[in-house]
Amino acid sequence: MRNPNENDPTVFGPLQEDAWLSLERQADLLASLLKCAGGMAAAISADYRFIFCNQPYQNISRELLGATVAPGAFLDEVLAHDPEELQTSRELWRRSLAGERFTALRQFGRGEGRRFFEIHSCPVLDRAGRRYGAVQSLREATQREKARQSLEESEREFRRMFYESPIGAAKVHPTKFIFLEVNSSLCELTGYSRDELLGRPFTDITHPEDLAQDVELATKVQTGELEEYNLEKRYLRKDGETIWVKLWVKLIRDSKGTPLYFLPLVENIDELKRAQEALRQRQHRLERMVLDRTQELEISQAVHHSIIREFPNGSLLLFDRDLRFILAGGSMLVLDEKQLVGKTLLETFGPEASAKLEPAFRGALEGRSSQFELVWGREIFDINVSPVRCTDGRILWGLAMSQIVTEKRRIECDLRRSMLQAGDNLRQLVATIEAMTDGVVIYRPNASISRINSAAARMLRVSPEELDATIYERPRRYHFLDPDRNALPVVEFPAVRALNGETVRNLKLVLRREGAEDQWLQVGAAPICGEEGEIIGAVLTLSDITASKNLEAELVRAKVQAEAANKAKSEFLAGMSHEIRTPLNGMLGMNELAFKRASDPKAREYLQMSRQSGQHLLDIINDVLDLSRIEAGRFELKPEDFKLDDELAETLKALRIGLRGKNLVLTQSIEPDTPRLLHGDWGRLRQVLFNLVGNAIKYTDQGEVHINVGAEGLKDGEAILHFEIRDTGIGIPPDKIPRIFDSFYQEGCSAHKKFGGAGLGLTISREIVQRMGGKIWVQSQPGQGSVFHFTMRFALGSCGQPEAQYVEQEARRAPSLRILVAEDNRVNQIIITDFLQEQGHTVEIAATGLRALAHLAKTPFDLVLMDVGMPDVDGLEATRRIRSGESNPLNPSIPIVAFTAHALRGDRERCLEAGMDAYLSKPVDMDRLLALIDSLFPAS
């Protein structure tokens, strides 16, 4: 150390020699203290010369500043290489040398490598209180400062997301349930301003029917039963409108677990709810249409040559909901059947008569029966219109039964006049009555028969000696029953009611006679009055309507037969699926094994072609099953999150196989404003793309097939995507375009022979698109290619990743396992055994369900591949016995995978309900099987 010179301007004042020595001694003392205290520390004199610096201080100076600090070194020399740092350091030392005590935070470096230090600085005083130096101690505060900055950034980000979120958000008091804060999206959704919502309980804007569930779930979150909850409920907007929302609610707590506030996120799903209801109604109409058309076909075949053509005593007309005649017949059919069937009511009878008939026909389709007379031309018709119902009470059609009653009405009028006249008119009346085909009975006031025609006598089997007996006295060889086959009391008999002054019309009764089948009659009765209005008798008319009643029964039986036919069709498809998939699984599996072992390029080419043919056959089977599900109204969607870019790339990778041997390129483009993360049934979208792009490749030999995806609109968390598939192929003639989406239709037989296929792809694509809220159409010119367009509606995806699929787990491989394969087909046994052994697994075979149970009772297996359709005990029953412990398995909870050719709707659910862990349909994709095993037994 050099002695200070009083002429040296760097010294803060004239120092005496003893003062300098005192400074050195105090510095030594200070160094000893700081070394004992640890940390980073240094002391400097008034001329900015280090009188002390401990080792940590020297180390950090070297690391951060590239400076070598040592006692006796001047600050200006140490930091001469960094003028900016020199200026900053001199300023901090100057403040302490000037007498200031302070604490400062300094940052060194930038970005992720920056470090923070807390500096404590104070002056060094002598005994007289004069400042002759300064001391600094440093403590690293990097972790604390970064944590503080991160907390501030998180708070800013939360506030930004809260207030700028397109989804409604709020803070709600954890016990009072009042709004503490709301964002603008929630205000827009409810119609209230922020000031109107703050301090208001959320119960005020919740629909009363949804309130109890919401409060119950919130209470469970308060008590810790639930961590969070979500539900769909209704809000009451300020304008009185009710809207549906989806609610996600989480309780925010502080570090000690004390509830701070509820954080609800609110999404408007009102349009989605309306769309779901519209879809449900549309599906119901489609089911109704399919059922009606199937029943019409069955009825037309079963009934056309039966009762309806030979209906006695009148005519029958069967009509549909468009008031169009679908069947006609009978002994009194005025118009030829060809003039009626297929024609509407208006086309057949003209405006005047149709105006009288239409209310009754409409009423029958609504469940009401009616009877009336119609004057048409020169004839009078007695019309009886009633609904035709199926066994479950639904109305299928309407049935109009008509009789020409011109003569009958004239006779009835003459009959009444003749009873008021005398003499010769009586004989004329008797002859007329006798000539009638309907039964006519005339009663005296005492209820005895005055006159009965032959038709009525045959019906009732009344002998001449019984004519004078009254209704109450006559021996009963016949009985009248009501429509429910209950005995009709005498007082309810129409003739008795007519003698009491009541007119009875169109009463349907059952006539039961000894030794004969029951006969249906339509009965009418009216009192016969004298000149002064007194009742002098009654007339009873009887019409045989047994044939029409039999027709109704025949129609109901035909309906039952149609339902049975539909059930038989479903069972046939299930059986055929199993029978075809089992050998197909063997064929494709053996092909795969042979392909892996074949070394001859030509043989591998043949095997590859064979595999493509088998896959084509499987595609046709799947198309037929999909069409069956669509026709039966059992088509399901399985929405999930997915990334559009990734899934589209994977789909096109698979489709590029079809480009081999063609001078053709397959390209894609996604417009910039198209959302990438979506929620919907990607599997069905992929099916449509496979059909449309596959067709484009099939019908295009050279040029390009291009797929473009864009967004037509984004609203309320939903996106409508527009897909366009453009090719340079053969094109479609304009007259063929209207039928291009019909089932089993291809553009001419030559196209079928040249390009193959079942003609179902476009039909299924149309149904999928419509069920996913979109539409499909095509633009084409022969020789210039085609452009297929379709739209689909998707929800915007969440921030999470799409649900993991088996095939995405390529990085994990299961350890070596001991696997039991329960399979009765020898070919399938060989295929599965070879494949699993190649993967390092040990395999044992059980050809029946009982053998599988016996193996599991004595051998510790890791996994069971269980065929559903096996001899003696099928796979479902075997699984139930394993899970219940009935078969004494060593491990009742062993993983069981269904391995079956059953692939119709409900097969997977039945397997899982029986206790199986997973489901694979035949033909089995070996990569998918391997991925499934890996997911059940992940590598450690």
Task: Using a pLDDT cut of 90, give the percent of the chain over it.
Answer: 17
SS3 state at 126: coil
Integer angstrom CA distances of residue 539 from 352, 442, 488, 504, 527:
33, 4, 19, 10, 6
- 457-477 mean pLDDT: 63
**Band of residue 893 on the pLDDT scale cut at 50, 70, 90:** very high
Beta bridge partners of 104: 119
Q: Percent helix, strand, coil in the chain (nearest 5)?
A: 45, 25, 30
SS3 state at 756: coil
- 421-430 mean pLDDT: 62
Residue 136 structure tokens: 């600094």
Q: What is the pLDDT of residue 790?
A: 94
Tens of pLDDT, residues 209-264:
988 988 999 889 888 888 899 999 899 999 989 999 989 899 988 878 889 899 89
Q: At which residue do the structure tokens 């004298």 appear?
A: 530
Distance CA 279, CA 766 (A): 15
Q: What length is written for the chain?
A: 940
pTM recorded for the entire structure: 0.33
The amino acid that residue 14 corresponds to is: P
Tens of pLDDT, residues 671-684:
988 999 999 988 88
With a cut of 80, say whether residue 721 has pLDDT above it: yes
**Band of residue 707 on the pLDDT scale cut at 50, 70, 90:** very high
The amino acid that residue 612 corresponds to is: Q
With a cut of 80, say whether residue 644 has pLDDT above it: yes
Is the Cα dihedral 574, 577, 581, 583 positive or negative?
A: positive
Other Cβ atoms less than 10 A from the Cβ of 7: the count is: 7
Other Cβ atoms less than 10 A from the Cβ of 64: the count is: 14
Q: At which residue do the structure tokens 């007329």 appear?
A: 432
Q: What is the pLDDT of residue 338?
A: 73
Q: What is the pLDDT of residue 749?
A: 39
Contact 141, 107 (CB under 8 A): no
**Band of residue 706 on the pLDDT scale cut at 50, 70, 90:** very high
**Band of residue 851 on the pLDDT scale cut at 50, 70, 90:** very high
With a cut of 90, say whether residue 540 has pLDDT above it: no
Integer angstrom CA distances of residue 865 from 586, 860, 916:
16, 14, 10
Element at 295 (helix H, strand E): helix 270-303
Question: DSSP H helical segments within 81-227, as ranges?
Answer: 83-97, 142-164, 184-190, 194-197, 208-223
Other Cβ atoms less than 10 A from the Cβ of 121: the count is: 21
Tens of pLDDT, residues 778-836:
999 888 899 999 999 999 876 444 333 433 344 456 688 999 999 888 878 888 888 88
Beta bridge partners of 249: 229, 264
Q: What is the pLDDT of residue 903?
A: 52
Q: What is the pLDDT of residue 810?
A: 43
Contact 42, 52 (CB under 8 A): yes
Q: What is the pLDDT of residue 548?
A: 81
Sheet holding 818-822, edge to edge: 842-846, 818-822, 863-866, 896-900, 918-921
Contact 541, 438 (CB under 8 A): yes
Contact 320, 326 (CB under 8 A): yes
Residue 191 structure tokens: 């119609």
**Band of residue 423 on the pLDDT scale cut at 50, 70, 90:** low
Residue 115 structure tokens: 């470090």
**Band of residue 896 on the pLDDT scale cut at 50, 70, 90:** very high
Q: At which residue do the structure tokens 């527009």 appear?
A: 722
Residue 127 structure tokens: 């005994």
Distance CA 103, CA 200 (A): 47
Beta bridge partners of 125: 131
Max CA pair span of the chain:
174
- 101-117 mean pLDDT: 82
- 564-583 mean pLDDT: 62
**Band of residue 343 on the pLDDT scale cut at 50, 70, 90:** confident
- 866-878 mean pLDDT: 87
Distance CA 92, CA 394 (A): 95
With a cut of 90, say whether residue 858 has pLDDT above it: yes
* Residues whose CB is less than 8 angstroms from the CB of residue 79 and which lie 6 or more positions away in sequence, other chains included: 65, 67, 85, 86, 89
- 3-class SS string, 766-791: HHHHHHCCCCEEEEEECCCEEEEEEE
Q: What is the pLDDT of residue 244?
A: 92
Contact 848, 866 (CB under 8 A): no
The single-letter DSSP state of residue 72 is T
**Band of residue 93 on the pLDDT scale cut at 50, 70, 90:** very high
Contact 707, 693 (CB under 8 A): yes
**Band of residue 283 on the pLDDT scale cut at 50, 70, 90:** confident
With a cut of 80, say whether residue 336 has pLDDT above it: no
Sheet holding 40-45, edge to edge: 50-53, 40-45, 131-140, 115-125, 102-108
SS3 state at 384: strand
Integer angstrom CA distances of residue 584 from 577, 587, 654, 868:
10, 5, 21, 16
Nearest partner of 439 among 307, 542, 519, judged by Cα: 542
Residue 350 structure tokens: 């003209």
Question: DSSP H helical segments within 500-600, as ranges?
Answer: 546-597
Tens of pLDDT, residues 168-196:
888 899 988 899 888 888 898 889 998 99
With a cut of 70, say whether residue 870 has pLDDT above it: yes
Give CA angle at 373 (370, 377), nearest 5°.
140
Q: What is the pLDDT of residue 939?
A: 62
Tens of pLDDT, residues 126-159:
777 788 899 998 888 878 877 777 777 767 777 7
